[in-house]
């Protein structure tokens, strides 16, 4: 889950909306966020969805968030005219109805853009229909509330929305006062103009006309339903927000160098025309290099030149994005790790939230006599579970080894098939006993959260780690046990040290004396789960075993330096990317009290269905034994 104020937001939905922004805008650095309103923040290069939708049922919530994104990226970004929008802002700056007119403009402009988008992409109809039904019910409720409280301007705003969105020839507005109905009647001709509005200017003019018709009995609105769809600090020199977001800064040097043309160019239209090469009315090619250094020349740029050795290298800057299926959003695939792909260098695989995270190895010490004694005590406590689990796996392996393959054309003669051979002339009367290896071709990693909050859970966690180690060692399955944490005291904006305490490395896991090192695991400081999961998966991916498993013990939400806001999203991305490498990831939530609903949803949003909830630590070894049994039998 992702926290927004006091709400918990689905991490999977957040990533889907983030991908939707990237797909529709084709701007990899255009981010997504939840806010109190839906708008485009030009400075932060962020598209937001309104938290209004959080309290709605799942289907409406998703439709609301998605239509917020689509309205901003497909609508506002391309079809809201910035000069007209800025003129409107200036016109209402001193108005006593500033907030009312601001919201009225946003509402009517969104409705205009909605109709354009539905014509362009009919696949969005279902989402917008759900949006409109939800908002209709919302404004009907708000209408009654505003009437009861005497908020006449807010009441009028609700009436305007219900009027312009009504699909019935007979408009019924239960609860509206007679005075408001008279005002609404006086606005009828202006509101009729809205249905023919085809530009931002016409919408702005309609809003100003409505404001001019209201008398002094109307003060500014009390409630806030919408915010301006664009957040900018200064005026733009462009007609549309798309040009503002993709503009190239002017050259720092304005000098002009005189260069003689040494060759004559020629004009020739390419025989094959591609629509993708067209960029609207801007008369520019799709691929553009933005330069803010250099000197101006008088070269006309219409000549030709010979190819050079470096041309192919320059061609690599072209992206791999393509046009999505027209009119259909339902089959859009997730652009996994889109942010991560934009990060260059070796750290890209660890996610953009972990650019400054550095891996440190925490030294494993020689086990003390006390460690060895405690290890033996804990081993005795889980001996029953170990024997039961080992016996189950041994029986399964023996059954596989002794299983015979029958109905073959060659092999050993089967007495049971002699009668079918005589009666039915059946030729498949032979069988074979396979001699298969009793070794399981797998590798396991157990990753243990060693954050400070594990202080009251670490001892039971060690017992489960010992069970894990002892069972896999007896079955001769390579494995590792690693504790992880971040040093919060040394962490800075540019440096976040993360420690791996590899108490049982792969190369030592099957040696007779390995094990007491587990007792060195201790609660430390913070936990940057996404970074540690990716690092552990890297080691697993390099191994040669056929089956690979990554088990994670944690006691809650990832929390580290500059990681609180996006830690859940980053961990979810890490889990998804590791699973795509063919590595199974299973999360285990540890608690010493009843598990709250948001904690359960937290694990589901990070790990999906592959997670285990343990609310009584005394049950951890037994429950973990069931997990190991299921995973091991799955491979046999």
- Tell which of 180, 202, 231 closes a domain: 231
CB 610 within 8 A of CB 587: yes
**DSSP-derived pairing of the beta strands 584-590 and 611-614:** parallel
Q: What is the model's pLDDT at position 330?
A: 41
pLDDT at residue 57 greater than cutoff 90: no
How deeply is 527 buried, as exposed, middle or buried, from its count of CB atoms within 10 A (0-12, 13-18, 19+)?
buried
Instruction: Please write the tens of the pLDDT for every residue from 443-490.
Output: 999 999 999 888 888 998 999 899 889 988 888 889 999 999 999 888
CB atoms within 10 A of CB 19: 17
DSSP secondary structure, 344-383, as one string: -SGGGGG-GGGTTEEEEEPPPPPPPHHHHHHHHHHHHHTH
Q: What angle do CA 172, 173, 178 make, to 5 degrees?
A: 115
Buried b (16+ CB within 10 A) or exposed e, 447-479: bbbbbebbeebbebbbbbbbbbbbbbbebebbb
Instruction: Please write the tens of the pLDDT for every residue from 88-119.
Output: 989 998 899 999 999 999 999 999 999 999 99
Give the global pTM.
0.54
Question: 345: phi > 0 → left, psi -120 to 50 → alpha, else beta; which?
Answer: left
Tokens found for residue 408 = 């073959």
Instruction: Please write the tens of the pLDDT for every residue from 523-567.
Output: 988 999 999 999 999 999 999 998 999 999 998 788 888 887 788
The answer to whether residue 321 is domain-embedded is no
The answer to whether residue 515 is domain-embedded is yes
Q: What is the model's pLDDT at position 114?
A: 94
Strand partners, 432: 405
CA dihedral for 191, 193, 199, 202, sign (positive or negative): negative
pLDDT at residue 1 greater than cutoff 70: no
The answer to whether residue 382 is domain-embedded is yes
Residue matched to tokens 């189950």: 392
If pLDDT is split at 50, 70 and 90, which confidence band does 375 have? Answer: very high
CB 472 within 8 A of CB 506: no
The answer to whether residue 531 is domain-embedded is yes
- Give the CATH number for residue 544: 3.40.50.410
Residue 244 to residue 236: CA distance in whole angstroms: 7
pLDDT at residue 342 greater than cutoff 90: no
Residue 32 to residue 522: CA distance in whole angstroms: 38
Question: In sequence order, what E strands does 137-270 have?
Answer: 230-231, 256-257
Residue 521 to residue 457: CA distance in whole angstroms: 11
Q: What is the model's pLDDT at position 54?
A: 82
- Tell which of 199, 231, 263 closes a domain: 231
Question: Which of 106, 110, 112 lies closest to 88 in space, CA to CA?
Answer: 106
CA dihedral for 50, 56, 57, 59, sign (positive or negative): negative
* Average pLDDT of the chain to the nearest whole number: 78
Q: What is the model's pLDDT at position 415?
A: 52
Q: What is the mean pLDDT of residues 54-73?
A: 90
CB atoms within 10 A of CB 68: 25
pLDDT at residue 294 greater than cutoff 70: no
Instruction: Please write the tens of the pLDDT for every residue from 565-601.
Output: 788 889 999 999 999 999 999 999 988 788 888 788 8
If pLDDT is split at 50, 70 and 90, which confidence band does 397 have? Answer: low
The answer to whether residue 461 is domain-embedded is yes
Question: Which of 420, 423, 520, 512 lies closest to 473 in space, CA to CA?
Answer: 512
* DSSP three-state, residue 341: helix
CB atoms within 10 A of CB 574: 29
Tokens found for residue 144 = 């009654």
Q: What is the model's pLDDT at position 429?
A: 56
Instruction: Please write the tens of the pLDDT for every residue from 404-437.
Output: 455 555 566 555 555 455 545 565 555 555 544 4
- Residues with Cβ within 8 Å of 352's Cβ and at least 6 positions away in sequence, in order, are 339, 340, 342, 343
Residue 501 to residue 363: CA distance in whole angstroms: 7
- Tell which of 231, 265, 281 closes a domain: 231
Number of domains in the chain: 2
The answer to whether residue 317 is domain-embedded is no
Instruction: Please write the tens of the pLDDT for every residue from 164-181.
Output: 998 876 677 767 888 888
If pLDDT is split at 50, 70 and 90, which confidence band does 630 have? Answer: confident
Residue 462 to residue 468: CA distance in whole angstroms: 10
DSSP secondary structure, 64-86, as one string: HHHHHHHIIIIIIHHHSBHHHHH
Residue 610 to residue 629: CA distance in whole angstroms: 15
Question: Which tops the pLDDT comparison, 269 or 44?
Answer: 44
Q: What is the model's pLDDT at position 618?
A: 78
Q: What is the model's pLDDT at position 272?
A: 39
Buried b (16+ CB within 10 A) or exposed e, 414-436: beebeeeeeeeeeeebbbeeeee
Strand partners, 35: 50
Q: What is the model's pLDDT at position 481?
A: 96
State which residues form the domain around 463.
371-390+438-635
If pLDDT is split at 50, 70 and 90, which confidence band does 232 have? Answer: confident
Q: What is the model's pLDDT at position 257?
A: 44
Tokens found for residue 41 = 């923040």
The answer to whether residue 282 is domain-embedded is no
Q: What is the mean pLDDT of residues 312-328?
A: 38
Q: What percent of the chain has pLDDT above 90?
A: 36
Instruction: Please write the tens of the pLDDT for every residue from 126-162.
Output: 999 999 999 998 998 888 888 888 899 999 999 999 9
């Amino acid at each position: 889950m992702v926290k927004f104020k006091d709400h918990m937001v689905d991490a999977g939905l957040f990533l889907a909306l983030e991908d939707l922004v990237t797909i529709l805008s084709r701007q990899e650095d255009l981010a997504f966020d939840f806010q109190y309103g839906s708008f485009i923040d030009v400075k932060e290069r962020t598209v937001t969805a309104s938290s209004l939708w959080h309290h709605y049922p799942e289907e409406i919530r998703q439709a609301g968030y998605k239509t917020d994104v689509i309205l901003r990226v497909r609508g506002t970004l391309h079809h809201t005219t910035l000069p007209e929008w800025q003129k409107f802002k200036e016109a209402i700056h001193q108005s006593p109805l500033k907030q009312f007119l601001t919201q009225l403009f946003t509402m009517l402009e969104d409705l205009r853009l909605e109709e354009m988008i539905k014509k362009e992409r009919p696949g969005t109809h279902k989402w917008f229909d759900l949006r409109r039904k939800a908002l209709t019910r919302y404004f009907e409720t708000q209408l009654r509330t505003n009437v009861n409280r005497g908020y006449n301007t807010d009441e009028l705003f609700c009436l305007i929305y219900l009027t312009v969105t009504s699909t019935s020839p007979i408009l019924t507005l239960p609860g509206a006062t007679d005075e408001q109905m008279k005002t609404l009647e006086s606005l009828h001709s202006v509101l009729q103009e809205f249905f023919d509005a085809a530009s931002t200017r016409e919408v702005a003019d309609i809003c100003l006309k409505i404001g001019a018709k209201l008398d002094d009995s109307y003060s500014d609105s009390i409630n806030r339903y919408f915010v301006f769809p664009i957040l900018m600090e200064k005026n733009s020199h462009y007609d549309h927000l798309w040009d503002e977001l993709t503009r190239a800064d002017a050259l720092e040097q304005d000098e002009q160098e005189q260069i003689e043309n040494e060759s004559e160019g020629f004009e020739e239209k390419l025989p094959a025309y591609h629509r993708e090469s067209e960029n609207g009315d801007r008369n520019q090619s799709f691929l553009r290099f933005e330069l803010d250094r250099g000197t101006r020349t008088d070269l006309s740029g219409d000549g030709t030149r010979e190819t050079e050795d470096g041309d192919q290298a320059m061609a690599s800057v072209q992206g791999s994005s393509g046009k999505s299926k027209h009119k259909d959003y339902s089959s859009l695939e997730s652009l996994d790790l889109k942010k991560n792909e934009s990060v260059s260098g070796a750290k890209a695989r660890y996610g953009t939230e972990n650019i400054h995270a550095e891996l440190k190895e925490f030294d494993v010490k020689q086990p003390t006599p006390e460690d060895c004694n405690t290890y033996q005590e804990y081993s005795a406590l889980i001996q029953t579970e170990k024997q039961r689990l080992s016996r189950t796996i041994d029986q399964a392996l023996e059954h596989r080894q002794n299983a015979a393959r029958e109905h073959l054309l060659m092999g050993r003669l089967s007495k049971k098939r002699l009668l079918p051979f005589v009666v039915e002339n059946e030729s498949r009367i032979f069988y074979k006993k396979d001699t298969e290896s009793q070794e399981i071709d797998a590798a396991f990693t157990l990753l243990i959260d060693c954050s400070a909050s594990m202080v009251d859970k670490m001892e039971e966690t060690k017992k489960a780690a010992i069970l894990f180690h002892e069972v896999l060692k007896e079955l001769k399955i390579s494995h590792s046990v690693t504790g992880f944490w971040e040093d919060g005291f040394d962490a800075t904006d540019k440096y976040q040290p993360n420690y791996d305490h590899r108490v049982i490395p792969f190369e030592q896991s099957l040696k007779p004396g390995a094990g007491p090192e587990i007792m060195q695991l201790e609660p430390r400081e913070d936990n940057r789960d996404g970074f540690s999961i990716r690092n552990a998966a890297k080691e697993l991916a390099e191994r040669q075993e056929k089956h690979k498993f990554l088990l994670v013990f944690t006691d809650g939400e990832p929390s580290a330096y500059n990681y609180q806001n996006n830690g859940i999203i980053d961990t979810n991305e890490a889990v998804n990317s590791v699973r795509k490498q063919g590595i199974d990831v299973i999360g285990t939530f540890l608690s010493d009290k009843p598990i709250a609903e948001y904690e359960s949803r937290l694990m589901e949003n990070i790990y999906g269905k592959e997670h285990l909830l343990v609310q009584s630590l005394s049950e951890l070894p037994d429950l973990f034994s069931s997990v190991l049994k299921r995973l091991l039998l799955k491979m046999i």
